[in-house]
Copies of this chain bind each other. A is one copy, B any other.
Amino acid sequence: MAKSVTLVEVGLRDGLQNEKTPVSPETRIEFARRLAAAGIKRMEAGAFVRADRIPQMAGSMQVVQGVLELQKNKRIPKDVEFSVLVPNEKGMLEAIASGAKEVALFAACSESFSLKNINCTIDESFERFAPVMKLAKKHKIRVRGYLSTCFGCPFEGEVPEARVVQIAKRMAALGVYEVSIGDTIGVADPGQVEKLFKKLLKHIPAKKLAGHFHDTRGQALANILTTWRLGVRVFDTSLGGLGGCPYAPGATGNVATEDVVYMFKGMGIHTGFDLDQLIALNPWVAEKVAHTLPSSVGKAGRLKPLGKVSKEDVK
């Protein structure tokens, strides 16, 4: 097992999408630039969804074009990969128009969540993926697949493992290069994670799987560690833990990028990130979304020794 890990920064999409305060496209472009400067190589830039339903993602066209422009002007390193979420063919056409080289699809493992979240059944969502995949092939656009509610659904509760495995196989069979297994509401624990991923790995190779954990119940790092030990090397994280959990008010959502980087760096695993720059981004982003970010490392920072104490000092 290679001693490295890749993080996919989802703060700009999954993070901001769940924030109350919308952030302007200009600020999102600058956010992407700062993330790239801190060493992030894979990033979600936005979503081509209905702005009346998800106003936080309005202006995603401007954001995608903006970051690609910065990349052309070498203000963002050329090896940074941007992805954009597309729910259907219409979104895919916008992605093509934007110049995006990667898109992400999104399916749920529970019918209730699929209906509530994307207003169609799971089968219907896969029907929508067919023309998207066709266009992707034609335009040589990489496609990533997200699977949500893999460990529990806010409406149905338990989600059967067999169903998750079946939908993950279906997603992989579409031709996506990676399937991100999501704990959308942060209910998973390391026991459940180990069981599900062991089953998934019987059908999908580790290099095609990613873990997407929310820290709602504080389990995300333990879950990531468990998944990493099974050979998975890609995890979705969000700067500062951006994005709350709509199903648990007051609780956190996406696991914070800095917390994950702190862990892997401590384990001697290469991440390619500058932890200090990630930490420094916290107050900047906090100002934009108008609240303190939940990230633990973002709040506590690194250990900065106060200086040795001698016997004379405490007399």
Which B residues are in CB contact (< 8 Å) with A268? 191
- Copy number of this protein in the oligomer? 2
A301 touching B248, Cβ below 8 Å: yes
Interface string of A177-195 (1 = CB under 8 A from B): 0000000011111111000
Q: Which of A64-72, A90-98, A217-225 lies at the interface with chain B? A: A217-225
CB A145 to nearest CB in B, in angstroms, measures 23
B303 touching A157, Cβ below 8 Å: yes
B222 touching A300, Cβ below 8 Å: no
* A263 adjacent to chain B (CB < 8 Å): yes
CB A280 to nearest CB in B, in angstroms, measures 16
Identify 25 residue pairs between A and B in the complex whose beta-carbon atoms are under 8 Å apart, listed by A's number: A115-B309, A115-B310, A115-B314, A116-B309, A121-B311, A153-B305, A155-B306, A155-B307, A156-B305, A185-B303, A187-B303, A189-B262, A189-B265, A189-B267, A190-B225, A191-B266, A217-B297, A218-B256, A221-B221, A222-B263, A225-B226, A245-B300, A250-B299, A251-B299, A251-B300
A296 to B308, CA, bound (A): 34
Quick one: which of A206-253 are within 8 Å of B by CB? 215-219, 221-222, 224-226, 245, 247-248, 250-252
The 10 closest A-B pairs by CB, nearest first: A189-B266, A218-B296, A157-B305, A191-B267, A112-B309, A251-B300, A248-B300, A218-B259, A221-B222, A191-B266
B187 touching A308, Cβ below 8 Å: no
B217 touching A251, Cβ below 8 Å: no
* Residues in A lying within 8 Å of B, measured CB to CB: 111-113, 115-116, 119, 121, 152-157, 185-192, 215-219, 221-222, 224-226, 245, 247-248, 250-252, 256, 259, 262-263, 265-268, 295-297, 299-301, 303, 305-311, 313-314
A112, A218, A308, A309: most-surrounded residue (chain B CB, <10 A)? A218
A49 to B247, CA, bound (A): 44
Which B residues are in CB contact (< 8 Å) with A221? 218-219, 221-222
A311 to B259, CA, bound (A): 39
A113, A191, A192: most-surrounded residue (chain B CB, <10 A)? A191
Which B residues are in CB contact (< 8 Å) with A300? 186, 216-217, 245, 248, 250-251
